[in-house]
Structure 1
Amino acid sequence: MGNVEKLMNQIMELKLTSKRLQREARKCNKDENSEKLKVKKAIEKGNLQKMLETMDSFERQFVNMEVQAELIESSMAGSTSLSTPEDQVGSLMQQVANDYGLEVSVGLPQVAGHAISSKDEEKVSEDDLSRRLAELKACG
Structure 2
Amino acid sequence: MKKALQQGNTDGARIYAQNAIRKKGEALNLLRLASRIDAVSSRVETAVTMRQVTGNMTSVVKGMDKAMDSMNIERISLVMDKFESQFSDLDVQTSYMEDTMSSTTAVSTPQDQVDLLMQQVAEEANIEIQHEMGSKTLEGTVADLTPGEKLKEEDTKLAERLRALRPAS
The TM-score with structure 1 as length reference comes to 0.39
| Larger strand percent | 2
The TM-score with structure 2 as length reference comes to 0.33
- Of structures 1 and 2, the one with the larger relative CO (CA 8 A, separation 6+) is 2
